[in-house]
Structure 1
């Protein structure tokens, strides 16, 4: 008789692996990624031994999700890619979880355009008439929801809003609280872009209630983080600080280092705006190491940390240090294509250079920002303006 547990005892029958995979995912959603990874690792080995391709791929996706929580992006990509390879001959809906995971790993690394390419390719495959599993609502919901964040970061706001609209429409067909809460959280961000803060807050409140009722701690932490972002964008800094502190505590408790340091960057921004510069600086200082943030572990937030340190240096009158931080941020963000962040940073750098009498360098900084905002496909007539060859830094 098979042992149906999550303690690593081999199953004697293939049917035992499916419920144990579900148990492992529950452990992950509760916020114990390290424990979940051990269970997924055992199940992956068992499935491989028994020749169960679908179950082995599901275990690999679970391992990839655990690696994302731990901030191990390269390892996560490897797990997701292996799962996709195993399912190469399966319908696109079966490959969707692995593709979504791989796209998320590239998103977290700041590779926004490649993330969108992966998601759009998967969506094209799912929407191909006559394809087995075409139109699968669960797969479509997962892919559309994941596309929202990179679209917003790239400045493709119409696409982001459309992805959110499609995701929300699919939630009625999917009984998965994690996916539904994620769709509500993604939609909230597009509502913020449109200035609809109250509606964004309502969407997040629904997501939080869903997570609480189903005891989904991981997604609940991200909902607190998203609510902090909404409040910060709306100028409600006290409420933003409370939400971000809650998210930080929850993420740190469940040992999610990458997400924890990203929240710390967002919290530092709120603290600086509230006049708590020393506390903000203390939060940021440990984050500017390769082990915390950087090209592989959150280039967008690393750029944000440098931006904040530059602003604080300007507040102290240290223009040389401010320029160094702005240039470091620009170097990181240019590789991501985060249009809004780049435009804002180029404005800050250009203003600094102009105030210090370097008019030509300031103009180059402004041109760089405009070049990133006017990307191909955004101009009415003619090609988009090229990004200047001459960099404003260095």
Structure 2
């Protein structure tokens, strides 16, 4: 039932009462019944008096409408019905139908806006943002997340956290790693320092910070974020959120050589996603397991997991994620001696990636094409790919990969007799190795009281 503060102004309510009364052919005396006077009904209809809740309940009952509809103009149970349909749209997105889900969310957003239902507007906008991430339309995703944040501008920061996280992920996928970290860290700092210790919001943000930290080479900070996320997990009731956390934490465990623990973490996440029937994230679990097996030298198993992830993402028309998985699959194929197949996949996928969409994976594709070209003794083509990769990684601030790429370029330049240029490349790489992406991040965010 609507609270008094949610009611329309007296004039609007008065016009609504008069319209409904005349529509039903009732007189003011009939509407008043024995509880009120016709004169009181007249003052209500003219907007000269703010009717009490009890009076409006009586009038609503006599008119045969719900109190909420009379007080706000919204059809009875509209908000509940909208929330149920928003859950259906979320289910559609989870099963991999991002385009269909986007249509559902757009229709629900229009309905929520028409009836000024703020929370439902925000949920629909967040859903549209997630659809944008899934289909690789990062510009649209960012726009929807920003709109969700604006709709919730008067809400507590904990309510705005999913929109802020969405913005950070969109910037991260666009190759803007430092800005993604800034958004996540500043939100975490405000939550923790302000005493807003909401476990769901904190877990969401710490888990989302792991990937940009890793790509920037800030491994210590990524490990700390993973540690805090794991400590928060027992306080979080949403299994999908916990599963996402396990998938992200696996990346730090792999980097620390804790392969068995990483595999166990991914197994937990995959099982939760299977139970929840969330195909999007289940595909990402296969992707991460492929990465795990690659790092552990189990290339045949890695190929199987990555092909499974690729098939699932391609079936869902998740173009950006499909392209990123393809780059990692090509790396495995090259290591298995299937370099021609790998090169063909990479050339095709570069048409779908760009500095604004998947900069880190686009750089990885150029790096691998450079390695394949070097193996064919085509130094000119190899250098061209290395330079393109270097430019992409510098723009993204992905210091974790820059040092290795500078070494590859330096070795190539040295072999072709350009010693001074090689030394410059080595010095650049050393600079990134000694300052692994943390120099512009500022102090780590305050920690929650665990």
Shared topology, TM-score over 0.5?
yes
Counterpart residue number, 2:375: 315
Alignment-derived partner of residue 425 in structure 2 = 365
- Once the two structures are superposed, what CA deviation does each residue of 1:170-190 show, in whole Å capped at 9, x if it has no partner? 222222222111111111100
1:227 aligns with 2:289: yes
Structure 1 CA distance for aligned equivalents of residues 194 and 363 of structure 2: 42
State the alpha-carbon separation in 2 of the partners of residues 377 and 198 from structure 1: 28
With over 3 angstroms needed to count, the CA separation of the structure-2 counterparts of 1:245 and 1:377, relative to structure 1, is: closer
> In structure 2, how many angstroms separate the alpha carbons of the residues matched to 1:377 and 1:230?
23
Q: 1:110, 1:246 → 2: CA distance?
A: 26
Structure 1 residue 175 corresponds to structure 2 residue 240: no
TM-score for both structures, normalised by structure 1: 0.90
CA offset digits 1:313-353 (Å, max 9, x no partner):
00001001000000011111110111121111101000000
- Distance change (3 Å), C-alpha of 1:231 and 1:11: farther
1:209 aligns with 2:263: no
Pair 1:31–1:378, CA change in 2 (3 A): closer
Partner of 1:69: 134
Q: Rg bigger for which structure?
A: 2
**TM-score scaled by structure 2?**
0.79
2:188 maps to which residue? 123
Match of residue 304 from structure 1: 364
CA distance in 2, matches of 1:257, 1:15: 34
How many pairs does the alignment contain? 367
Corresponding position of 1:342: 402
- Structure 2 partner of 1:374: 434
CA contact 2:218–2:437 (8 Å) conserved in 1: no
Aligned to 2:327: 265
Unpaired segments ≥5 residues, structure 1: 3-9, 380-394
Displacement after TM superposition at 1:11 (Å): 7.5
2:101 counterpart (36, 44, 63)? 36
| Separation (CA, whole Å) in 2 of partners of 1:86 and 1:58 | 10
Within the candidate set 54, 58, 61, 2:119 is matched to 54
Could you tell me whether the CA contact under 8 Å between 2:403 and 2:432 is conserved in 1? yes
Decide whether the 8 Å contact of 1:167 with 1:183 is kept in 2: yes
1:5-35 deviations in Å (ceiling 9; x for gaps): xxxxx97622211122122111111111111
Partners of 1:110 and 1:299 within 8 A in 2: yes
Q: Could you tell me whether the CA contact under 8 Å between 2:171 and 2:180 is conserved in 1?
A: yes
Matched, 1:186 2:186: no
In the alignment, structure 1 residue 199 sits paired with structure 2 residue 274: no
Contact 1:349 1:365 in 2 (8 A): yes
**1:14 aligns to 2:79 (yes or no):** yes
Distance 1:11 1:208, change over 3 A: farther
- Runs of at least 4 residues off by over 3 Å: 376-379
Query: For each residue in 1:136-176, what CA deviation from the matched residue of structure 2 results, as whole angstroms up to 9, or x when unmatched?
Result: 11111111110000011111111101111111222222222
Q: Which runs of 5+ in 2 are unaligned?
A: 1-64, 67-73, 440-450
Q: Distance in 2 between matches of 1:53 and 1:269?
A: 46
Quote the residue 2:217 is aligned against.
155
Partner Cα distance (1:234, 1:217) in 2? 26
Q: 1:106 — aligned with what?
A: 171
Instruction: Report if aligned partners of 1:14, 1:50 keep a CA contact under 8 Å in 2.
Output: no
